[in-house]
A and B are shown apart, each in its own frame.
Chain A
Amino acid sequence: MGSSRLAAAITVLFASAAACASGDRTFERQVPAEAHGVVDISNVSGTVVVTGWDRPEVSVRAALDEGVERVDVSTDHGRTTVKVVLPHHGHGGDADLHVQVPKDSELAVSAVSADVATAGVTGVQRLNTVSGDITAELGGSDLELKSVSGNVKLKGHGQPARLHVSTVSGDVHLEHGAGDLEAGTVSGTLVVSLDSARSVRARSTSGDVHFEGKLARGADFDATSVSGDLNVRASAESGYAYEISTFSGDISNCFNATASERGHMPGRTLQGTRGDGAGHMHLKTMSGDVQLCDRK
């Protein structure tokens, strides 16, 4: 259901991009590629849609508006490079790329304002944008994602992987992830759902953090913010020891534990253990409110 929705979204994105670009130049090229090779794609503006397939080749289709000079496609020693080239002078233009890659490829996409979408890629993904939004399907391999102001939507299938996501102001939505997550934002909102987490490190300055999911035995969970709220609903079969600290925020929970004041000093803390206490949970804020529940 989720996959079909993602595929539909990608189809709509590509179709609308193609429609917008109607009347502009088109570009098509196929080059042979290794099944576990590297595919490096860069585009400034427009869209980048990448899908994995079973063929040992990279296919590039593009719609280019008049501000784009050309698309370079080259392959060398297992690395295929797709690069949208803009003229040295002028404002440049949009290029809408649809790239099909061997599904086990290691994928690297670099964009400025172009939106990026990936689906069906099971190799490592490195996705970077400045202001473009990123939509990616997690394929069980590691993901490294960085955006300045673009919003991020990630959808996994519960396969464990190392996920490293950072934005400055973009919001992050992650569904059905698993494994190890390190996520950071300054003012974006982090909304994370993990089917099984071994370790979670979430950090925010002013953005709120929402987590829902299940912790593996002995998992470590660490979330901090300065003024953002932390809302955590984490269950764990073997439980966890928790420690919550806030300087001026409120602490609430679903198991009726009472936070303690720090005597005459400002601040509240709440410590305790749920279940066997095999995992560890640390939640810290300066002025944000903290909510913890051990039920999903």
Chain B
Amino acid sequence: MSGADERKVGSLRELSPAIEPARDLWPQIEARINAERGTAAPPRPARARAVPPRWLAAAAVVASVAVGVWIGRSLLPASRPGAQSPISASRASFADVPTALDVAYVSDPRYQRDRAALMKTLQARLAALPPPARAKVMASLADIQRAKQDLQNALGKDPGNALLQELLVNTYQDEMRVLTDVQASDPGRGI
């Protein structure tokens, strides 16, 4: 993986405004739309139902891919082979002494399992949100990532600082709350 791929995205502004799929997905999309048209039951006369225009389907795919790229780059740093987690990366640059937080949160198997489960469905949930809401939530998640990074950097300078430790624990809890809320946001029912 190149160095450019390893770069962390600190802000949505750093993402390319036109992220394109790695391959041309349109032939598959078109084939599927055509297949669904061919097999779909005729619409009930009482309700007019417009077939979504092609650009909407394409936009949904692009949005989903963009969200996926963003999640992969900004929220899943440890998922890349050879990549260091923010905790270990920041600590490596300052001190090798583990903090109580590592024991309490980052190393806790239940926390890791729950977070991993939430991250699995995050992309689909974000893609299902209305675009303005999706942008706001992604910005908030980016804020949380930035806060975690800032706190870890500050803890690197002052590892025993109880205030920073408390705020970092709060931030981990807030991240879980946001992931849980987004997970619970069912486009068919709300939260």
Q: Which residues of A contact B (CB under 8 A)?
A: 42, 44, 66-67, 69, 86-87, 89-91, 110-113, 128-131, 146, 148-149, 166, 168-170, 184, 186-187, 203, 205-206, 224, 226-227, 245-248, 265-267, 284-287
Chain B positions near chain A (C-beta within 8 angstroms): 47-50, 52, 129-130, 132-133, 136-137, 139-141, 143-144, 146-147, 150-151, 154, 157-158, 161, 163-164, 166-167, 170-171, 174, 177-178, 181-182, 185-191
Q: Among A87, A146, A206, A245, which residue has its beta carbon within 8 angstroms of that of B181? A: A146
Contact call A205/B147, Cβ cutoff below 8 A: yes
Residues of chain A within 8 A (CB-CB) of B158 are 247, 265-267
A168 in complex: contacting residue of B48, B136, B163, CB < 8 Å? B136
User: Is A186 in contact with B140, judged by CB distance below 8 angstroms?
Assistant: yes
Q: Which of B49, B136, B186 has the most CB of A within 10 A?
A: B136
- A-B contacts counted at CB < 8 A amount to 138
- With A112-B185, A113-B133 already in contact, 18 other A-B pairs whose C-beta atoms are closer than 8 Å: A86-B188, A90-B50, A112-B188, A129-B190, A130-B191, A149-B129, A149-B136, A166-B177, A169-B139, A203-B174, A205-B140, A205-B143, A205-B171, A224-B166, A224-B170, A226-B167, A265-B158, A286-B147
Contact A66 B143 (CB under 8 A): no
Given contacts A284-B166, A286-B150, contact A131 B161 (CB under 8 A): no
Name A's interface SS.
loop
5 contacts between A and B (CB under 8 A): A67-B49, A112-B189, A128-B191, A187-B139, A246-B163
The contact of B190 among A44, A66, A168, by CB within 8 Å, is A44
| Shortest beta-carbon distance from B49 to chain A in Å | 5
B-side interface mostly: helix
CB-CB < 8 A to A187: which residues of B? Answer: 136, 139-140, 143
Q: A187-B143, A267-B158 are in contact. Are A226 and B163 (CB under 8 A)?
A: no
Taken together as a complex, chains A and B put the C-alpha atoms of A104 and B137 apart, in Å, by 35
Closest to A43 in B: B190
Contacts of B47 in A (CB 8 A): 66, 69, 87
The 5 closest A-B pairs by CB, nearest first: A131-B133, A110-B190, A169-B136, A149-B136, A226-B147
- Complex CA distance for A170 and B140, rounded to whole angstroms: 10
Chain A contacts of B171 at CB under 8 A? 205, 226
Contact A113-B189, Cβ < 8 Å, known A168-B181, A205-B144: no
